[in-house]
């Protein structure tokens, strides 16, 4: 693809034709405040926070394509006035207590407001909207309308990436908000609970119910099925605190389903079996793996000799790898039985 030159704040940049001004600036280490932009989504130009001067005209940089010889100013007096007003309008009725928010220090509005120099004391006299109830009906996701900035990232994520369209803009004026069909609680909608909207929300409007900041992360593979989605397990105090998708994985490119993102409580569950159990005298007792496998093999041979190979059957697990499931069915067929099934079919 053709490369072109443009000038951003006096710096000459060489970028690929077709890039937007925002992409060109960010790729070259030039910060342009933005809220509704996300690299996974088509540009929308909703928030107007990324406005810049391009050849003397104000344009939203997330939607404006670069042109050869273009002169861009990201920090002129006109840009700063327009940007400051846009951020104030977003922040004026926003939830104030940042320390109580799960997105504190990871909030795009907080980042942008600090960059443009929004004065919280000045905004207090303009605050008019009443606090709205928090939707905590969902088992994994908390929706706080008081923190929503109507950037539309969640709506576009559900539409462009997940292709479910469970949420959209509703109502008008001060009453406008993101809601489900019929403004039902999220739990009662056609939401698939994948959490893709949660990980892309730039503020604290969408948060995981059990959001705990991990001490460190471990790169691994999701165990729920044989797809092999790449994940990072957030670990804290020896337990899983959260899961995020591996964007470098060729399998899922960072996307996860509801099981992969939220279904990790079984790992540290007190009822989880960690050693084989053998029933002796009507009571289960702990045993070694060698002892358990020898017992299973002996029972297999006993049943096969007494009732024939068709009396044997096996049910494998979708949580095992494809290779392990292949070996399992091969084991059953080696006994002469074709009665093999997998829970992934259910």
Please report, in tens digits, the pLDDT of each residue of the chain (346 residues total).
Answer: 789 999 999 999 999 999 999 999 999 999 999 999 999 999 999 999 999 999 999 999 999 999 999 999 999 999 999 999 999 988 888 887 888 888 988 999 999 999 999 887 777 777 766 778 888 889 999 999 989 999 999 999 999 999 999 999 999 888 899 999 999 988 889 999 999 999 999 999 999 988 788 999 999 999 887 788 999 999 999 899 999 999 999 999 999 999 999 998 888 888 888 899 999 999 999 999 999 999 999 999 999 999 999 999 999 887 777 888 899 999 999 989 999 998 766 4
Res 128: pLDDT: 67
Tell me which CATH code domain 3-100 carries.
Answer: 3.10.20.740
- What is the reported pLDDT for 13? 95
Rounded to an integer, what distance in angstroms lies between the CA atom of residue 102 and that of residue 106? 8
DSSP conformation class of 265: G
Residues with Cβ < 8 Å from 94, sequence gap 6 or more? 109, 146, 147, 149, 203
CA dihedral 37, 41, 46, 48 (to 10 degrees): 30
> What torsion do the CA atoms of 244, 275, 316, 322 make, to the nearest 10 degrees?
50
Out of 3.30.450.20, 3.20.20.80, 3.90.1150.10, 3.30.70.20, which CATH number does the structure's domain 129-208 have?
3.30.70.20
Residues 6+ apart with CB under 8 A from 187: 137, 138, 139
Distance between CA atoms of residues 264 and 283, nearest Å: 29
What is the C-alpha separation between 325 and 315, in angstroms, rounded?
A: 10
Beta strand pairing status for 51-54 and 11-16? unpaired
Output the pLDDT for position 98.
85
**For the chain, what is the total number of helices (H) and then of strands (E)?**
9, 16
Amino acid 247: pLDDT: 95
Indicate the DSSP class of residue 41: S
Q: Which long-range contacts (CB under 8 A, 24 or more apart) does 321-329 make?
A: 321/226, 321/228, 322/226, 322/228, 325/226
So where are the chain's domains?
A: 3-100, 129-208, 216-268, 277-345
Give CATH superfamily name and number for 216-268.
ADC-like domains (2.20.25.90)
Task: Output the pLDDT for position 175.
Answer: 86
Q: Report the C-alpha gap between 198 and 207 in whole angstroms.
A: 6
pLDDT of residue 267: 87
Report the Cα 165 to chain-centroid distance in Å: 16
Dihedral, CA of residue 69, residue 74, residue 80 and residue 85, to nearest 10: 100
H or E element in which residue 329 lies: helix 322-334
- pLDDT given for residue 345 in this prediction: 62
């Amino acid at each position: 693809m053709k490369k072109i030159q443009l000038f951003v704040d006096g710096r000459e940049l060489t970028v690929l034709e077709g890039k937007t001004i925002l992409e060109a600036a960010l790729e070259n280490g030039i910060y342009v405040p933005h809220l509704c932009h996300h690299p996974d989504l088509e540009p929308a130009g909703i928030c107007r926070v990324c406005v810049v001067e391009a050849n003397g005209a104000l344009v939203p940089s997330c939607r404006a394509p670069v042109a050869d010889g273009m002169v861009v100013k990201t920090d002129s007096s006109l840009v700063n006035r327009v940007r400051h007003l846009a951020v104030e309008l977003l922040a004026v009725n926003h939830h104030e207590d940042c320390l109580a928010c799960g997105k504190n220090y990871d909030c795009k509005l907080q980042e942008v407001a600090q960059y443009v120099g929004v004065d919280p004391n000045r905004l207090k006299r303009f605050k008019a909207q009443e606090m709205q109830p928090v939707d905590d009906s969902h088992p994994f996701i908390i929706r706080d309308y008081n923190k929503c900035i109507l950037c539309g990232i969640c709506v576009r994520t559900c539409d462009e990436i997940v292709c479910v369209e469970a949420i959209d803009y509703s109502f008008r004026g001060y009453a406008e908000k993101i809601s489900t069909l019929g403004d039902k609680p999220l739990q009662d909608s056609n939401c698939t609970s994948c959490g893709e909207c949660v990980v892309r929300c730039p503020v604290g409007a969408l948060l995981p119910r059990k959001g705990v900041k991990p001490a460190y992360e471990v790169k691994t593979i999701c165990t729920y099925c044989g797809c092999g989605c790449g994940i990072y397990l957030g670990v804290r105090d020896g337990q899983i605190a959260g899961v995020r998708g591996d964007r470098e994985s060729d399998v899922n490119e960072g996307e996860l389903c509801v099981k992969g993102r939220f279904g990790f409580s079984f790992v540290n569950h007190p009822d989880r079996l960690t050693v084989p159990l053998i029933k002796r005298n009507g009571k289960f007792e702990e045993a070694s793996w060698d002892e358990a496998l020898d017992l299973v093999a002996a029972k297999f041979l006993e049943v096969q000799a007494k009732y024939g190979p068709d009396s044997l059957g096996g049910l494998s697990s979708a949580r095992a790898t494809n290779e392990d499931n292949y070996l399992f069915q091969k084991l059953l067929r080696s006994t002469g039985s074709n009665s093999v099934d997998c829970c992934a079919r259910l």
